[in-house]
Amino acid sequence: MISTRRHFLAAAVAVIPVARLAAEPAKKDKEPPTRTVKGLVADEGDQPLEAVVQLKNTKTLDVRSYHTDAQGRFYFAGLDPNVDYEIRAAAKGMRPKTRRVSSFDDRMELFYEFRLKTE
């Protein structure tokens, strides 16, 4: 009888820490930081343009497109800070312009202004 109690007590002592760990909520892995690129597309007279802005990942060559709003604004989020990107802005009747986003730039929020010239 005493040996049964000892075995029961030993089993309970071994199970309690495991049960406690199972009851604790799992800690989520910290998500890696992401970069945001936003900006403005306008003409030479600072008038906002409705344009197409394309973001190209130079590593995978994936392209994401965004149509600017009526104020000429664009926004890309969730970008890998360890990858270089090319941003190209184009509007009807205007010369397109391209800029680079470098992985060596450590800012997490970037703002770019595109001033497009007429063709």
Query: What is the predicted pLDDT for the residue at 119?
Result: 87
H or E element, residue 68: none
Q: What is the pTM of this model?
A: 0.72
Domain boundaries, the chain: 35-116
pLDDT in tens, 5-61: 555 555 555 555 555 555 555 556 788 899 999 999 999 999 999 999 999 999 999
**CB within 8 Å of 93: residues ≥ 6 apart:** 118, 119
pLDDT at site 13 = 55
Q: Which CATH architecture has domain 35-116?
A: Sandwich (2.60)
